[in-house]
Structures are given as C-alpha cells and as structure tokens.
Amino acid sequence: MKVIELNHPLIEHKLSILRDKHTGTKEFRELIQEISMFLCYEAMKDVKLESVEIETPITKIKSGKLNEDCYAFVPILRAGLGMLDGVISVIPNAKIGHIGMYRDEETFEPVNYFFKVPKDIEHREVIILDPMLATGGSAIDAIELLKSKGVKKIKFLCIIAAPEGILAVEEKHPDVQIFCAKIDSHLNENKYIVPGLGDAGDRIFGTK
Ligand code: PRP
Ligand code: URA
C-alpha cells in the first residue's frame, strides 16, 4: 500500500520548527498535536458517511455524518500520547487504547510493557499513533498485538518515517496504510532518524 506523505508548504514550515533543537517543550507539543490533526484528516479521506436528514435555518437536506463508534485511536506510549489531543479534536467520540512500548537501547528491539484496548476493539477501525517510525519494530509489534485481538482495519499515523521502517512495516503488514508528515533520509548507527527531530518522547515530556 502506498505511503501517504502530507505534502504541503505549511506542514514543512511546522516541521522546520519541530525539528529545530532550540524549539522548547511547549511549542514542540503544540506542533505535534497540530500536525497530527492534519494527518487524521488525511487518514479519514476514505471513510463512509451515513446519510442523515438535517434542517438548516433555510431548508431540509440529506447530509453525510460519521459514525464515530466505528473508530479507536491507539497511541504507542510514550511519544504517541503527544498526538492524541490533535486526533481527538477530529473524532472526539473515538475510543482510546494504549500500547506501552520502548526500544531497548542496545538491541533496538521493542519491549512491550502495557496493552489495554476497548473491549469491542475487533469491531473498530484502529488508528495507531506514534510520531516516529524508525526501524519499524515498535509499529510491527503494535500491529501484531491489535491483529491478535481481531482488529481487521488498521492505519498507522506518524510525524516522521524512515524508509527502513516503511519497508519493514510494508513487508510484514502490507494491509496497513501508513500516513506521515515527512519521509526522511535514513537511520543512523543508533537507529535514529536522519535528519529527524531527536527523541520524540523526551522532547514531548521534557525528560532530557
Ligand atoms: C520511539 C518512538 C517509537 C519507536 C520507534 O519510542 O516513539 O515508539 O521509538 O522506533 P522503531 O521504529 O525503531 O521501533 P521510544 O522507544 O523512544 O519510547 P518513548 O516513546 O517512551 O520515548
Ligand atoms: N525514536 C525517536 O524518538 N526518534 C528517532 O529518531 C528514532 C526512534
């Protein structure tokens, strides 16, 4: 499935501020939320709306409405939490699950430490949130956990994706569509995205 990259000068403008190492926590968080909101609009382009009758101050019309009960957001902790407010502003009634995952600093392999999703998750389209798709290990494991719960339709939203991570996810889960604000150049020897924005979790939560 083709990766969708937001291609817009204002997104590039916001990414330039986000990437800048001098950008502080407050602005960093706000930009992650704002870009996530646009990613969510893009990811929802294919949704089917229900036709309902509404009455404007002028006349009655048939108009499309989203059944918000069909969706769940699942941020990958910690950094995915930074995207949550942005996407909730688009679909306020979506349910929310959480997957706790961190990357082992030596092996770069993901370690899962928490998994809690809505009971009826198998009936929902799931939108996974994580700002960074680096090796793809965390995304692949998160998708596997959700599929093991019976989830059939999954989308993956990230701010920055590395080509290596995209390839890895596409190979294991070709049915999962990836949406990103930007595809970057490559991973460095520490598996950080180049040019990237550094450690997203640390910058969102101010832990370093
Ligand atoms: C980061 C990021 C992803 C993961 C991406 O999380 O938020 O979850 O690394 O790397 P991968 O594609 O190689 O798996 P991190 O392990 O830093 O945890 P944190 O969100 O708690 O900071
Ligand atoms: N996780 C991050 O937060 N940043 C990277 O560049 C890679 C993984």
Instruction: Give the integer Cα–Cα distance in Å for 93 and 107.
Output: 38
Whole-number pLDDT of residue 108: 93
Q: What are phi and psi of 54, to 5 degrees?
A: -130, 160
List pLDDT tens digits, range 111-153: 999 999 999 999 999 999 999 999 999 999 999 999 999 999 9
Q: Indicate the average pLDDT of the chain.
A: 97
- Per the residue annotation, which of 107, 120, 175, 207 is the catalytic one? 107
- The number of residues in the chain equals 208
Question: Rounded to the nearest whole angstrom, what is the distance from the C-alpha of residue 75 to the centroid of ligand 1?
Answer: 11
**Number of the ligand 2 atom closest to the C-alpha atom of 194:** 6
Q: Which ligand is nearest to the CA of 200?
A: 2
Q: Which of 201, 149, 123, 153 is nearest to 44 (CA)?
A: 153
What pLDDT digit, counting tens, does each position of 88-98 carry? 999 999 999 99
Q: Give the atom of ligand 2 at the shortest distance from the alpha carbon of 196.
A: 6
Segment 167-195, tens digit of pLDDT: 999 999 999 999 999 999 999 999 999 99
**What's the predicted TM-score (pTM) here?**
0.97
Residue 1 pLDDT exceeds 80: no
Nearest-ligand number for the alpha carbon of 163:
1
When pLDDT is cut at 50, 70 and 90, the band that residue 2 belongs to is: confident
- Residue 120 has a pLDDT of 97
Instruction: Determine whether the shortest distance from the Cβ of 82 to ligand 1 is under 6 A.
Output: no
Ligand 2 contacts (CB < 6 A) are 79, 132, 134, 192-193, 196, 199-201
Helix extents (H) in the chain: 9-19, 25-43, 81-88, 137-148, 163-172, 200-205
Active site residue 199: yes
Task: Give the position, in ligand 2's atom list, of the atom nearest the Cα of 79.
Answer: 3
pLDDT digits (tens, 9 = 90+) for 18-64: 999 999 999 999 999 999 999 999 999 999 999 999 999 999 999 99
Question: Distance from the CA of 139 to the center of ligand 1, in angstroms?
Answer: 9
- DSSP at 135: S
Annotated catalytic residue 103: yes
